[in-house]
Chains A and B, each alone.
Chain A
């Protein structure tokens, strides 16, 4: 009986410590995630000195077509455009671009690239997209912090 209660206590302690450890790691990851989210937002977003949302969406569409994307969705009300591109027979790349007002004189353009279900964090494809978009608009893209 004594041996059994001892075993129960050990099991309880292990369970409690596992629970505590998981809480700590989750909290740590939560903070990590916040930092990387800010970084990612900076990679994915640019501000442009214009308020013409429709023109911006049209230019986004033209830019995606230039990169060989198939346009899948586009809506003025939501201010989003989505394009897809097959990387090979199995892998599909998807880009969703949203255009929103930023203050009274700017538009914020945010692009999100995914391969399958995974988000692309590499800054290079975003840089290439925004560089082409700026050229098409004859406007300079401003890094967002």
Chain B
């Protein structure tokens, strides 16, 4: 006995598969996966200084120079939250967000680690953006940025 396969059967099968896949919702735990070491390394640089406030101020100035608006600062936690929103000539909205966190490096009393994460609708992964930020920061504080 032969089963006749209509030419539409694979199409229906694909639709059904897509529906099943579409119905699967991601669990909250799926969003608790740590970033890779490489990603963290791109976002972080160490500066040979014990003056955390100086580094934090330089970060705030740098963000302001690049059109960001400082939204929140908590110097005791070494944290700056900044954003910029621009309306393009075509009426579209362009938004970017920067989150800077500074901390003392354990075992190195004269070292401050700076971690910056940029978002433009989603996380910015382009290493060149981070390199440019840290290069400008090094120039501002006259201290060379080292990789973690």
Q: How far is the CB of B27 from chain A (nearest CB, A)?
A: 7
User: Are B34 and A66 touching (Cβ within 8 A)?
Assistant: yes
Bound-state CA distance A84–B7 (Å) is: 47
Binding site for A on B (CB under 8 A): 26-29, 31-35, 40, 72, 74, 76-79, 81, 97, 99, 101, 103, 115, 117, 119, 122-123
User: Are A58 and B103 touching (Cβ within 8 A)?
Assistant: yes
Interface size class of A (residues with CB under 8 A): 20 to 34
Q: At the interface, yes or no: A43 with Cβ under 8 Å from chain B?
A: no
Chain A, residue nearest B100 (CB): A71
Contact of B79 (CB < 8 Å), options: A61, A86, A125, A129: A61
User: Are B74 and A67 touching (Cβ within 8 A)?
Assistant: no
Count: A-B pairs, CB below 8 Å: 73
> Inside 8 A of B40's CB, which chain A residues have their CB?
66
> Inside 8 A of A54's CB, which chain B residues have their CB?
76-77
Bound-state CA distance A76–B75 (Å) is: 10
Bound-state CA distance A12–B64 (Å) is: 69
